[in-house]
Amino acid sequence: MVLSKNTQVRGNICSLPSRKTALALCILTLFVVYHIPYSIRFLEGLIPMDKCQLVGSEALKLDNAVDITLKLGSRSDVQTCTYWGAPIIWDGMFDPEAYDQTHKRTHTSVALTVFAVGRYLDAYLKDFLRSAEIYFMVGLPVTYYVFTDVPEKVPALNLAPGRELKVFAVERHSRWQDISMMRMKSIMEVIDTHIRHHNQYVFCMDVDQVFGGRFGAEALGDSVALLHAYYYHRFRYMLTYDQNPKSQAYMAESQGDFYYHAAVFGGSWQRVRQMTEACYRGIIKDKDNGVEALWHDESHLNKYLWQHKPSRVLSPEYCWDPSVGYRSDIHVTRLLWREKDYGKLRDKAN
C-alpha cells in the first residue's frame, strides 16, 4: 500500500486488516497526529543535559559568600553549572534560609520591572503583583516598577512593609513587537533615574506570568539569565538564535551556549544597565538598517549573554510553561506562564 498524501494516513492505516499489530499502529499514528507538539516536547525531555564538570562549589565563580553552600552534586539528573563556572540553580541545590538570612544581613533590596500595556494590564497585572507579594523575594525590600500606557488603571494593592510600587507612563507603540523591544530603553532610563539610588539588584519580567512558588534570594547575582523552558534539553544546533547576518543579533552556527528566555533576566543594577543598553543599541541599529531580529529583544539578549557570560543561570523552574507537559527534572514551578489569546491581547495594544 502506498500513501500518496499525508491526509490519507488516518483512513488508510485504520483500514488495514483487523489484526493486533494493525490496530496498535493505527492508535499510535492517530495519537501522534493529534499530539505532535506534546510528543516532540516529551521526546526532547529525554535528551540528557550536559553535566557539571566542576568539582565542589569552591570551583564556582561566586556572586556572594553564601554560594559556597551550593550543592552542585545534589542533582545528578540536570546540569548544575556552566563551563565558565556559573551555577545553574535547581531545586535541592541550595538552602533557602541561608540565602535569606545572608541578604537580610547585607540589607539587599530588589527592583522588579514589569510592562503592562494595552489589554495586558487588565488581563495579568493584578495577579502578577498579588502573587509576587506571596513568593517574590519575601522578607527583602522590593520596589515594583510598573510601566504602562494607562497609569490610572494600575490596581491599588496592600503591600507588605518595605515594599512599594512605582508607576511610569510609557508610549503606546504601533506594534506589539516595538512594545517588546523598546522596554530595553525604558529599563535603562529608570535605572539611571531611580533604581541605582534605591536598589542593588534588578529583575525584569513579562507580566503574563504568575508566581506559584518561592522566587527568592538564591536567584540574585551580578548577571542573571534564565534557561528557556522549551529549549533547555535541546542540542545547541536546534536553538533558535537569529540567523540573519544583517542583524546585530546575528549568531553564527558555531556560536551560543544556552538559549535564554527574555521573560526573566536580571542582576546588579550596573550589569542590567549594560545589558539593556547593549540590546537597545542593537535594536536601533537594526531599525536603521530595516532589519528586525527573529525573536526581537530576546534575540538581542541572547547575543549579549553569549558575549558576556551570565554569572548565574536560573533553571526553567523559575519560568515554566505548563503546556510543555511533564518533566521529571522540574520538581517545583516558581513562575508560571499564563494562557494567552494573542489575537485579543495584541489587538488593543497595536
In order of 41, 290, 314, the CA distances from 335 in angstroms are: 19, 35, 12
CA distance 23 to 37: 23
- Calculate what percentage of the chain has a pLDDT beyond 90: 75
pLDDT bracket for residue 350 (50, 70, 90): very low
Q: What is the pLDDT of residues 54-99, one digit of tens each?
A: 877 677 889 999 999 999 999 999 999 999 999 999 999 999 999 9
| Chain mean pLDDT for the chain | 88
| pLDDT score recorded for residue 13 | 36
* pLDDT higher than 80, residue 29: no
pLDDT bracket for residue 33 (50, 70, 90): very low
Q: What is the pLDDT of residues 108-126, one digit of tens each?
A: 999 999 999 988 999 999 9
Arithmetic mean of pLDDT, 227-237: 94
Q: What is the pLDDT of residues 235-246, one digit of tens each?
A: 999 999 999 999
| Binding site, annotated residues for UDP-N-acetyl-alpha-D-galactosamine | 115-117, 120, 206-208
- Phi then psi for residue 113, to 5 deg, are -100, 140
pTM: 0.86
* pLDDT higher than 90, residue 217: yes
pLDDT bracket for residue 5 (50, 70, 90): very low
| pLDDT score recorded for residue 44 | 84
| DSSP states along 221-263 | -SEEEEB-TTTTTS-GGGS--B--TTSTTB--TT--S--B-TT
| Binding site, annotated residues for Mn(2+) | 206, 208
Arithmetic mean of pLDDT, 248-265: 96
Arithmetic mean of pLDDT, 267-277: 98
In this structure, the strands spanning 223-226 and 264-268 are antiparallel
Which has the minimum average pLDDT: 113-122, 169-178, 308-317?
169-178
Q: Is 97 exposed, middle or buried (0-12, 13-18, 19+ CB in 10 A)?
A: exposed
Cell of 191: 535605572
List residues with catalytic annotation. 298
Arithmetic mean of pLDDT, 166-178: 76
Set out the domains of the chain in order of their start, with CATH numbers. 51-344 (3.90.550.10)
Q: Is 195 exposed, middle or buried (0-12, 13-18, 19+ CB in 10 A)?
A: buried
